Amino acid sequence: MNKILIAMLIAGLTTTSIAYAQEPSAKHDHDNHKSDSEHRHDDHKSEGKHDHDEYKSYGEHGYDGHEEAASASLNAEQLTLAGIQVEALNAKPVDYQLYAPGEILSNGYTSYRVSPRVASVVLKRHVALGDHVKQGQPLVTLFSEKVAQAQAIYRTAWPEWNRVRQLGRKTVGDKRYINAKTDFEAAQATLQAYGLSSSDLRSLASQKTLSLGEYTLRAEIDGAVLADDFEQGQRIEAGALLIVLADEKQLWVEAHLSSNVSLTLETGMLAEVVAGDVRVKATVTQEAHTIDPITRTRTVRLLVDNLEHRLHPGQFAEVFFRFRTEKPVLAVPETALMRSADGDWTVFVEDHSGEFQPVEVELNRSLGQLREISGIAPNTRIVTKGAFFVASQIAKGGFDPHNH
């Protein structure tokens, strides 16, 4: 019995030694891809581990980057079930559109921000949110101590200047004449800087104002009240926003283009703007030359007519720029493109009916839903829809379950 056990142990050690002795050689052969059958065997062992990757990068199993090394043969039933479409690729001018998200804004060149030029207290409002006002219309009445002081100086300077001017320079002398004129002009400029109009100054000179310190801010333009975030009795610091007026007959649309889009939009180019159920034409007026550091987009500004007041600042919008290629190009839908294992873009060419072979192409411009390509001859029949299924068949063809 002991002899039998010893014999078995010796046989086991010998088999193990042979296995360990062979392992480095097999591993070296696999790493250097010297044996196609061993490579297929390793692939077979990992079958089912990454099914999604198998379909996405079909070259990992059976396609090594050379078109002649892989192909797929599909019958009529497979073509129908997979929804595969094959079309002849011809060069032709392409009409396409570029989409960009956007926002409706008030026209910054025709809008007006109403604010006090000196710290004041709100006495009375004359307009409300959404009101349409005319130029010169009263908006808000305020009170300010500094305005009261400036009004008092003006009331003193005006009569003196008026008297000196009537007497004449020769009569009163140069010094008095110059002093009177200078004091009056300084007092007048101070009140105008505070926001008082010419009519306010005339009323002040004629002693018709109710009390010193009160003054009224008026509309500088025709427009709508877009904001009026204040209350009566509130103290407002100099420069703080009281009211925003905007002429809504023409609005801005700011479209945000990806920084990766290499495209120049000419001034005057037409585009289509969609905001809710409103669809209107807009004109490109300006294009930013800097990239927003937060959104990583560049801004294109368009001008849109809004005579019917159907659009309003703050609305989100969709902007569509329309183009046409100057020359005929070869272009395919994105669904026709697949990546091989080495990262190259390919399309599937139909050599014969139902026979498909991957061919490497170069990608050029993006033309909306299409992509311009090169590296393939015109009139070549390619798969435009269902390329994913064709790739999967090529990937499956790379497996050899019998390791032959």
CA distance readout (Å), 7 to 1, 3, 12, 16: 10, 6, 9, 14
Q: Which domains does the chain have, with CATH numbers?
A: 53-93+328-397 (2.40.420.20), 98-108+247-324 (2.40.30.170), 111-144+222-246 (2.40.50.100), 148-212 (no CATH)
pLDDT of residue 21: 36
pLDDT value of residue 27? 42
pLDDT value at position 30? 41
The answer on pLDDT for 329 being more than 60 is yes
Q: What is the pLDDT of residue 11?
A: 43
Q: What mean pLDDT comes out for the span 367-384?
A: 91
Lowest mean pLDDT among 17-26, 92-101, 105-114, 339-348: 17-26
Across 214-223, 263-272, 302-311, least confident range: 263-272
Residue 362 contacts residue 131 (beta carbons within 8 Å)? no
pTM, to two decimals: 0.60
**What's the confidence (pLDDT) of residue 291?**
87
DSSP state of 59: G
Query: What is the rounded average pLDDT for all residues in the chain?
Result: 82
Q: Let me know if 364 is exposed, middle or buried by CB neighbors in 10 A (0-12, 13-18, 19+).
A: middle
The token pair at 307 is 């005579």
Q: Give 179-203 pLDDT, tens digit per residue.
A: 999 999 999 999 999 999 888 898 8
CA separation for the pair 330, 339 (Å, rounded): 19
Residue type, 237: E
pLDDT band at 399 (very low <50, low <70, confident <90, very high): very low
Supply the DSSP string of 233-273, one letter for each residue: T-EE-TT---EEEE-TTEEEEEEEEETT----PPTT-EEEE
Q: What confidence category does residue 404 fall into, taking pLDDT thresholds of 50, 70 and 90?
A: very low
Confidence of residue 58 (pLDDT cuts 50, 70, 90): low
CA 82 to chain centre: 36
One-letter amino acid at 56 equals K
Mean pLDDT, to the nearest integer, of 271-300?
91
Helix %, strand %, coil % of the chain (to 5)? 30, 35, 35
Q: Which residue has the higher pLDDT, 11 or 80?
A: 80
* Residues 48, 396 contacting (CB under 8 angstroms): no
pLDDT at 353: 87
Overall average pLDDT of the 251-256 stretch: 95
- Can you spell out the DSSP letters for 160-219? HHHHHHHH-HHHH-HHHHHHHHHHHHHHHHHHHHTT--HHHHHHHHTT--SSTTEEEEE-
Judge contact between 362 and 376, C-beta under 8 A.
no
Count other C-beta atoms under 10 Å from residue 11's C-beta.
Answer: 10
Instruction: Give the pLDDT confidence of 13-44 residue by residue, as tens digits.
Output: 334 333 333 343 434 444 444 444 344 434 43
Per-residue pLDDT for 236 more than 80? yes
- Distance between CA 398 and CA 404 in Å, rounded? 12
**Residue 326's pLDDT is what?**
86
Q: For residue 359, is pLDDT > 60? A: yes
For residues 131-137, give the mean pLDDT. 94
What 8-state DSSP symbol labels residue 142?
E
Across the strands, what pairs with 281?
272
C-beta of residue 318 within 8 angstroms of C-beta of residue 349: no
Task: Look up residue 20 and give its two tokens.
Answer: 């360990």
Least confident window among 151-155, 352-356, 398-402: 398-402
What is the predicted pLDDT for the residue at 210? 61
